[in-house]
Amino acid sequence: MLVSIIIPTYNREYSLKTAIDSCLAQTYENWECIIVDDGSVDDSAIIAKKYCDLDSRLKLIKQNNLGAQAARNTGLRNAKGDWVNFLDSDDAFFPRKLEFQVKQIKANKSIDISTCYGRVLDQRTKKEFNTKYKTQGLILEDLIKGNIYVDFNSPIIRKTKLIEIGFLDESCPSFQEWETHLRLAKICSYNYVPKVLYLYNLYQPDSIHTNEARQIEGLLYIYKKHFDTFLNMNPK
């Protein structure tokens, strides 16, 4: 079972090595890693190229600056695996992440998406906490009510399902993972591995989380796009 890891990156020379190293450290070895450089003006592409020269499982694609969602879609269109795991270039997998989730997928053929718990490091306070969202079966209602959240690093997703929803929405300003899973949750069965298997860095200096206006813009965009879904889930 080949897993395609897709890393979108833009000016992340300070963290990209850690993200790639976390892929190389996986105990499950049947993966490819597609690094999509989204028009970086720092040394991100140079760093990625050096890794690609050392391991044939890694591939670098360079494109003009079109945004993270466009970079993820570029990776998705070039992915050879039937399963996809996105990884943000300032985050990292723990070594047994793919191993545990692939084992779950192989044991249950009805699963379209396997998630896991994550460790969050708040870069403002340097405090850590674990997310323990239990995504089981059909999760749309819980997603809408805010009972659970699925970020991009957590799930391994059946590639055909991402194609079925029309890829990722490149116009969504923020909360892009939420918007993606609002669509996936209508057609996918979820399950989760109750283990902390990745590190998520919150409030990096250049992240969307630090831009309040963009966050509000994203919420308004999602509420408008999915108005009927929200309305039907919360009838008067």
Mean pLDDT of the chain: 93
CB 175 within 8 A of CB 222: yes
DSSP-based three-state secondary structure for 20: helix
pLDDT digits (tens, 9 = 90+) for 161-187: 999 999 999 999 999 999 999 999 999
Non-local CB neighbours of 213 within 8 Å, separated by 6+ positions: none
Backbone angle region of 207, left / alpha / beta, with phi > 0 → left and psi within -120 to 50 → alpha: beta
Share of the chain above pLDDT 90, in %: 85
Per-residue b/e over 12-42, b at no fewer than 16 CB within 10 Å? Answer: bbebbbebbebbbebebeebbbbbbbbebee
pLDDT digits (tens, 9 = 90+) for 82-125: 999 999 999 999 999 999 999 999 999 999 999 999 999 988 88
The pair of structure tokens assigned to 136 is 């089981």
Share of the chain above pLDDT 70, in %: 96
DSSP-based three-state secondary structure for 123: coil
> Could you tell me the pTM of the whole model?
0.93
C-alpha distances out from residue 129 to 33, 119, 125, Å: 28, 6, 12
CB 100 within 8 A of CB 89: no
The pair of structure tokens assigned to 208 is 């969307």
